[in-house]
Amino acid sequence: MALIKPKKVNMLTWIRDTGERTSNGGPLALYRCKCGKEVVKITHNVNNNNTTSCSRICPARPGSAGGFARPKYAKARQAWANMLSRVYASGKVKIDDPLVAGNSSLGFLTRDTPDPRYHVYGGRGIKVCKEWHDFRNFIPWYMTNVLEAGKNAGVRYTIDRIDNDGDYCPENCRGASNNVQNHNKAVLGRNKTGYNGVFPGPPNRSGGTYRYELRCNKKRYTGNGYKSILATLLDLNIVKILDIDRDYIIPAPPKEKYTIHIEITDNPVRHTLGYIVDGVIHMSKRRLDPSVVDMKELVAKLQSQ
């Protein structure tokens, strides 16, 4: 019996029939795309040139950046260009730089003047993973985690680095709203406490000189009269975990080595937490009811940061 040679149509090579059919009776077959991906397609659509590759975002499709030079991907391309620009456009990148050589789509990085945001991104050592130097690798992640996730949430999402001192890579990035990103950014130089949301405040009768303030979801969370920065930070972190979206507003741990202290007040149904640093307890002012708050989960959240 003679062997049947695989039939190639456009970018798809026939492998075998699946024996299955669509609801309209169209036969299905397994094909291998030029990019290496194996997919099941409707046979007559392939033979009639209605289907030419594994998908519309196939990296092997002809055209700029593998077929991504379309209005549909304009937002993704702008986000990709902005990300690379603020990390690499220092005003010193040349055409023969290894980053640009062989990749004409990165030519915009060779501008004479630095990107105005370079000093807070590339100037701080932030980089973009090699995988995302190619727009074709960036687009599927962006479409799923930023555009589609934002559409499902009903708000506009942009790229947010989970670790503000980490690089741009799939493991350290997510889609997030501007509201969320406002609480996950580098500490401004004028904030001498070292923590976002913690500020010096006017002294009160008890000697408290620190306060916290956080705005999220059109709400304002505040607390004042704290005697130490870490006590203020602790209550701010409790607010982030208990009162706000705990998956996105990330608590900031003390910079020093610490443990969690639990104190049961005179009222046995009220507990208070504290950070222990160098033998000193920095107590929260918030009383917690263990019948309402899962103390074990809360402590685990605070210790895992």
- Give the pLDDT confidence of 119-140 residue by residue, as tens digits: 889 998 999 999 998 888 898 9
- Is residue 234 assigned to a domain? yes
Q: Is the pLDDT of residue 57 over 80?
A: no
Does 191 map to a domain?
no
Residue 297's pLDDT is: 86
Q: Which domain holds residue 121?
A: 66-181
C-alpha 232/C-alpha 87 separation (Å) is: 34
SS (H, E, C) the chain: CCCCCCCEECCEEEEEEEEEECCCCCEEEEEEECCCCEEEEEHHHHHCCCCCCCCCCCCCCCCHHHCCCCHHHHHHHHHHHHHHHHHHCCCCCCCCCCCCCCCHHHHHHHCCCCCCCHHHCHHHCCCECHHHHCHHHHHHHHHHHHHHHHHHHCCCCEEEECCCCCCECHHHEEEECHHHHCCCCCCCCCCCCCCCCEEECCCCCCCCCEEEEEEECCEEEEEEEECCHHHHHHHHHHHHHHCCCCCCCCCCCCCCCCEEEEEECCCCCCEEEEEEECCEEEECCCCECCCCCCHHHHHHHHHHC
pLDDT at 268 (0 to 100)? 62
Does residue 187 lie in a domain region? no
User: What is the pLDDT averaged over residues 240-265?
Assistant: 76
Residues 46 and 19 in one domain: yes
- 37 with 144, same domain: the answer is no
Instruction: Compute the average pLDDT of residues 13-32.
Output: 90
pTM, two decimal places: 0.55
Check whether residue 31 and residue 17 sit in a common domain.
Answer: yes
- Distance between CA 18 and CA 41 in Å, rounded? 10
138 or 165, higher pLDDT: 138
User: Are residues 50 and 74 both part of a single domain?
Assistant: no
Of 39, 62, 85, the residue that ends a domain is: 62
Same domain, 143 and 101: yes
Confidence class of residue 171 from pLDDT cuts 50, 70 and 90? very high
Calculate what percentage of the chain has a pLDDT beyond 90: 15
Same structural domain, 210 and 254: yes
Decide if 188 is inside a domain.
Answer: no
Total domains, the chain: 3
pLDDT at site 2: 46
Last-in-domain residue among 181, 215, 235: 181
Q: Is there a single domain that holds both residue 128 and residue 219?
A: no
pLDDT tens readout for residues 104-119: 677 778 878 888 889 8
- Residue 173: the pLDDT is 93
Write out pLDDT tens, residues 77-92. 889 988 999 999 888 8
Assess whether pLDDT exceeds 70 at residue 3: no
Same domain, residue pair 172 and 203: no
Over residues 144-166, mean pLDDT: 88
Q: What pLDDT score does 144 carry?
A: 92
Does residue 2 sit within a domain? no
Going by C-alpha positions, the residue among 172, 153, 171, 145 that lies closest to residue 79 is 145
Residue 225, in any domain of the structure: yes
Among residues 295, 304, 253, 293, which one has the least CA distance to residue 275?
Answer: 253
As a whole number of angstroms, the distance between CA 213 and CA 223 comes to 7
- Whether residues 58 and 70 share a domain: the answer is no
State the residue for tokens 């222990």: 276
Domain boundary among 151, 181, 211: 181
Residue 32 has pLDDT above 80, yes or no: yes
- Given a contact cutoff of 8 angstroms between Cβ atoms, the answer to whether 247 and 301 are in contact is no
| Structural domain contains residue 218 | yes
Provide the pLDDT for residue 63. 46
Question: What is the average pLDDT value for the chain, to the nearest integer?
Answer: 81
Distance (Å, whole) CA 83 – CA 131: 13
Give CA–CA dist 153/180, Å, rounded: 13
Same domain? 234 vs 156: no
Question: 301 pLDDT band (50/70/90 cuts)?
Answer: confident
Q: How many CB atoms lie within 10 A of CB 96?
A: 8
- pLDDT for 6 equals 56
Residue 265 lies in a domain: yes
CB 179 within 8 A of CB 212: no
- Shared-domain flag, residues 70 and 177: yes
Q: How confident is the model at residue 203 (pLDDT cuts 50, 70, 90)?
A: low
Among 3-12, 54-63, 168-177, the minimum mean pLDDT is found in 54-63
pLDDT for the residue 249: 64
